[in-house]
Amino acid sequence: MDRLKSLLQKPENRVCADCGAPDPKWASTSIGVFLCIKCCGVHRSLGVHISKVVSTTLDTWSDEQVDLMEAIGGNASANSVYEACIPSGTRKPPPNASVEERSEFIRRKYEDQDFLKPNLRMKSQSTSRARPPTGLETDDLSAPSDRAPVHSRTSSYSNRESINRTSSSVGHSQRGSSASSFRSSSSLALSRKSSASLSRTASSPSTAGMVEFLGMLKVRIVRGINLAVRDLLSSDPYVTATLGTQTVKTRVVNRNLNPVWDEEHMLSVPSPPQPLKLQVFDHDVFSADDSMGDAAIDLNPLILAAQMHQGMFEEFGCEQIGRWLATNDNALVKDSNIEVIDGQIKQDVHLKLWNVERGEIEVSLEWVPLNGI
């Protein structure tokens, strides 16, 4: 982590790349920028095919992730590409910007590529995210669909060489030998954005993904117990956990009805909070994966307990501060205690799987408030 700390100490990386908020504690490893928690929320809504967000303090970084951040150089280098042509009437959102203003700028910057030099854009303007129509555009919106350009995908690929050359010159002027890495990562990130933008329709709302976040949730998928048989004698189970628009997936454990995953994933908790949905599947190579049951975790007891005791955690060594009770309406096998352990708010959850003949799953949660990030 010494290399990451060195990057974070650079003056341009000590403020958020998108809004300028001080002391950013998040990063997009696919784009190469450091972000504040508010801009991080918008980046998460773009999808990991555009921006893969990790914490600089809570997540474990791979050497490859640090290599990419070093190759790009951080905020100044990335912004020299992504903000090369900001129109005179457009301003970057300030640190106290609204969710709408922040989301609109970030989506234009990375998803629509509005601020790149025209010869670097990987798609035509006709494939951009929908804007509110004006009177002059009404006829165009009602025109036959065959008027839409069909060459935009082809032109995206033909522009890659131009992007590579420009990115290379940026890399040489700023980092010498790291130019090649910067060129590759920039081209890859932009090509992903092109694919995402081409898939959006004209009916997509311009306010999509504008979500406020209450905090972060560490979700540790611990193990499965007495799971259902889906193959001849056993199953190859894995778990997906979904919170809002975010989904994470564990590895597959082959031929095991009592698998131990013990995997930790980080998710943003939207406001208002939504249930954490868990689904267990049997992995199949030649057919669709079979369902092995599902369950849902109500996050309200955890969040309420955390908010009621905010600022008091240093007074607790190990103490229970709340409880989610097992009832006929939820999947709990037994009551789930919410505890403060060494200043961390944790909850162990033991669930019976629904919509399946048998099976249970154990999950451990840790609440991370925004002021603790």
- Specify the pLDDT at position 319: 81
Q: Which residue has the tokens 């640190």?
A: 95
**Domain assignment of residue 272, yes or no:** yes
What pTM does this model have?
0.53
Domain boundary among 111, 141, 159: 111
- H helices present in 109-178, as ranges: 138-141, 152-158, 160-175
- Whether the CA torsion 185, 191, 195, 198 is positive or negative: it is positive
**Domain assignment of residue 145, yes or no:** no
Question: Which tens digits make up the pLDDT trace of 284-327?
Answer: 998 999 999 999 999 989 988 888 776 665 555 678 888 898 98
Domain boundary among 87, 111, 135: 111
Report, as ranges of residue numbers, the positions in the chain whose pLDDT lies below 50.
123-128, 132-210
Q: Which residue has the tokens 């005791």?
A: 309
State phi, psi for 320 to the nearest 5 degrees. -80, 130
- Specify the pLDDT at position 39: 93
**Domain assignment of residue 163, yes or no:** no
- Specify the pLDDT at position 313: 56
- Specify the pLDDT at position 373: 55
Q: Are residues 223 and 352 in the same domain?
A: yes
Amino acid at 215: G
**Domain assignment of residue 124, yes or no:** no
Q: What is the CATH number of the domain that holds 21?
A: 1.10.220.150
- Whether the CA torsion 184, 185, 188, 189 is positive or negative: it is negative
**Domain assignment of residue 43, yes or no:** yes
State the DSSP H helix or E strand holding residue 368, giving kind and residue range, or none if neither: strand 360-369
**Domain assignment of residue 148, yes or no:** no
Tokens found for residue 232: 């001849």
Taking Cα atoms as reference points, which of 349, 355, 357 lies closest to residue 293? 355
- Specify the pLDDT at position 193: 38
Q: Are residues 239 and 358 in the same domain?
A: yes
**How far is Cα 176 from Cα 179, in angstroms, rounded to an integer?**
6
- Specify the pLDDT at position 64: 86
Q: Which residue has the tokens 């997009």?
A: 28
Tokens found for residue 208: 């999509």
Q: Is 81 exposed, middle or buried (0-12, 13-18, 19+ CB in 10 A)?
A: buried
Amino acid at 186: S
Helix (H, G, I), strand (E, B) or coil at 263: strand
- Specify the pLDDT at position 2: 83
Amino acid at 111: E
Q: Are residues 104 and 220 in the same domain?
A: no
Residue 360 lies in domain: 213-369
Tally of structural domains, the chain: 2
Maximum CA extent, the chain? 67
Domain boundary among 84, 111, 138: 111
Q: What is the CATH number of the domain that holds 249?
A: 2.60.40.150
Q: How many residues does the chain have?
A: 373
Q: Are residues 105 and 252 in the same domain?
A: no
